[in-house]
A and B are shown apart, each in its own frame.
Chain A
Amino acid sequence: MSIIDKPDPCFLRFWGVRGSYASPFESHLGVGGNTSCVELRAGNSLLVCDAGTGIIPLGEHIISNDGPRELLVLMTHYHWDHICGLPFFVPAFRRDWRVRFFGPGRDAQEIERSIAAQMRAPYFPVETENWQADIGYVEPQCEGLRHGPFLIRHGSVHHPGVTYGYRITIAGRTVVYVSDNEFRFLDRSLANAGDLSDEDHAIFRSVISEERMAELALIRDADILIHDAQYTEEAYITKRGWGHSCYLDTVDAAIDAGVRLLYLFHHDPGNDDRIVEEMLVRARALIAERGSSLQCEIAREGLVVTL
């Protein structure tokens, strides 16, 4: 599809930008307290990335507006911060809605099991069997998924358990959504590996450059990259190996991959508005220092970006 065929409207909206757990604290509300959920809209096609608490207000919004009665939810993985809004996602309880899910899993049944588990007794009073909408789970396809004008590909990323990042093409533009991913993991493992021979070190320096190419491939030349930027440099010292990136590693990767616009995402609940704003200042300083044209912004709850 060319840009000329761009459906109207065509935008993305951040409904939840927080990682780990919701943080509805006054000090955090400038950035937002809900956990991961991003809406992508192209005309009458609705695509949702993750189902954190942000999907609750999204659900309320879409049932009270004229618009599509059908959507596809892409799950990066099934950690709580990405699924915990689903039990309160109103469209799933409405007969006139059609909801499809895709995420990690070897087949549709496994995707269904992963999504349904959190609503089983004794964790929740209503199970997914009580959902009234036309619910479906999408079988993995190696050639990628299509949802209306959206073309969707996924790749595995560096985070505990099987976790996907999504490369979404719409109207000639590429949006990449990687909510949870730890960049440059092997570099640091090698730096900490004391007992390797010089020869083995040389081998793994080569493996590092291959892994770097692979991790950049998913985000390469994205028009918009929404990426994990959870930790400050100070926090990352003690939180390496928790599956999230230091925001400066995210900025570096976005520059190296030729990304045009980066949204720092999956903010740590320990980072209040002031800290996140400081991170943005330091991110922009790094971009200037590297002489890059990358634009960098904070993913803020409620922010709408035209595609």
Chain B
Amino acid sequence: MRGLNEAMQLPVSNAGRARELSDLIATAQGQPAPGKGPPIIVVVDDSSTIRVFFERVTRDLDVRLHTFASVAESLPYLATIQPDLLFLDILMPDKDGLTFLEELRNRPDHATTPVVVISSKDYAQDRALARSLGVLEYVIKPMSTQTIRDLILRLLPNSTASLPAAGVPSAL
């Protein structure tokens, strides 16, 4: 089985795609990242299912989601944008996620980028390495939709804007 089965196929909103595209164009044109827009979430994971999973989790959150299938694919984007939250897989074909994170941490623009590791690797040594690289959370696959949603809401409180009123903590 490759990708989600038919019943699980999830529509990706055209509006979301258009917004992503305009962001990417703005980035390509060298315009500064819109500082006051919704928070930016980046996912780097070679699993296409995980990337769709994130589209689904963030569908009704007020965030801008950018997903990449490899470290190499994510590099041009991360060279200009500091996401509000970066979800990073470890075992990827082109580069180990923890090695990549170490490289990012050595760049001034990503020294403090908030990172959450998502991996099937459930070993104390990886958790310790991730901790030493300032990772906020280490999430082991399989994780529930709710876990990731709660994590985003906790780490990005501003992302709740487009939730139904009942889901938003009362203002003031």
A217:B93 contact, CB within 8 angstroms: yes
User: With the chains together, A177 CA to B106 CA distance in Å?
Assistant: 31
Q: A202-216: contact bitstring with B at CB < 8 Å (1 yes, 0 no)?
A: 111111011101100
Q: Which of B2, B8, B123 contacts A160 (CB 8 A)?
A: B123
User: With the chains together, A231 CA to B130 CA distance in Å?
Assistant: 28
Q: Does B112 interact with chain A (Cβ within 8 Å)? A: no
A241:B122 contact, CB within 8 angstroms: yes
Cβ–Cβ < 8 Å partners of A106 in chain B: 99, 102-103, 106
B48 CB → nearest A CB, Å: 7
A158:B141 contact, CB within 8 angstroms: no
User: With the chains together, A208 CA to B48 CA distance in Å?
Assistant: 11
Known: A189-B140, A196-B144, A197-B145. Contact between A207 and B47, CB under 8 A?
yes
Cβ–Cβ < 8 Å partners of B144 in chain A: 195-197, 200
A104:B123 contact, CB within 8 angstroms: no
Q: Does B22 interact with chain A (Cβ within 8 Å)? A: no
Known: A104-B96, A106-B102, A214-B93. Contact between A158 and B145, CB under 8 A?
no
Q: Which of B1, B5, B99, B141 contacts A189 (CB 8 A)?
A: B141
Q: Which residue of A lies closest to B3 (CB)?
A: A206
Cβ–Cβ < 8 Å partners of A213 in chain B: 2
B8:A185 contact, CB within 8 angstroms: no
A210:B49 contact, CB within 8 angstroms: yes
Q: A76-116: contact bitstring with B at CB < 8 Å (1 yes, 0 no)?
A: 00000000000000000000000000001110001000000
User: With the chains together, A155 CA to B70 CA distance in Å?
Assistant: 13
Q: Does B129 interact with chain A (Cβ within 8 Å)? A: yes
User: With the chains together, A105 CA to B121 CA distance in Å?
Assistant: 18
A193:B142 contact, CB within 8 angstroms: yes
User: With the chains together, A243 CA to B91 CA distance in Å?
Assistant: 14
Number of B residues near A (Cβ < 8 Å) is 40
Q: Does B94 interact with chain A (Cβ within 8 Å)? A: yes
Cβ–Cβ < 8 Å partners of A193 in chain B: 142
B83 CB → nearest A CB, Å: 21
Q: Which of A156, A189, A241, A243 contacts B90 (CB 8 A)?
A: A156
A206:B8 contact, CB within 8 angstroms: yes
Number of A residues near B (Cβ < 8 Å) is 38
B59 CB → nearest A CB, Å: 14
Known: A162-B96, A199-B145, A200-B144. Contact between A185 and B46, CB under 8 A?
no
Q: Does A190 interact with chain B (Cβ within 8 Å)? A: yes
B142:A105 contact, CB within 8 angstroms: no
A256 CB → nearest B CB, Å: 15
Known: A185-B122, A203-B8. Contact between A210 and B48, CB under 8 A?
yes
B2:A209 contact, CB within 8 angstroms: yes
Known: A160-B126, A203-B53, A205-B1. Contact between A190 and B142, CB under 8 A?
yes
A156:B129 contact, CB within 8 angstroms: no
Known: A142-B94, A200-B145, A210-B48. Contact between A161 and B129, CB under 8 A?
yes
Q: Which of B7, B93, B99, B121 contacts A104 (CB 8 A)?
A: B99
A209:B1 contact, CB within 8 angstroms: yes
User: With the chains together, A199 CA to B145 CA distance in Å?
Assistant: 9
User: With the chains together, A241 CA to B121 CA distance in Å?
Assistant: 9
User: With the chains together, A195 CA to B96 CA distance in Å?
Assistant: 29
CB contacts under 8 Å to B, within A102-150, are 104-106, 110, 142
B44 CB → nearest A CB, Å: 14
B122:A206 contact, CB within 8 angstroms: no
Q: B142-162: contact bitstring with A at CB < 8 Å (1 yes, 0 no)?
A: 111100000000000000000
Q: Does B168 interact with chain A (Cβ within 8 Å)? A: no
User: With the chains together, A186 CA to B119 CA distance in Å?
Assistant: 9
CB contacts under 8 Å to A, within B82-141, are 90-96, 98-99, 102-103, 106, 120-126, 129, 140-141
Cβ–Cβ < 8 Å partners of A189 in chain B: 120, 122, 140-142
Q: Which of B4, B72, B92, B102 contacts A203 (CB 8 A)?
A: B4
A158:B2 contact, CB within 8 angstroms: no
Q: Does B50 interact with chain A (Cβ within 8 Å)? A: yes
A155:B93 contact, CB within 8 angstroms: yes
User: With the chains together, A176 CA to B106 CA distance in Å?
Assistant: 32
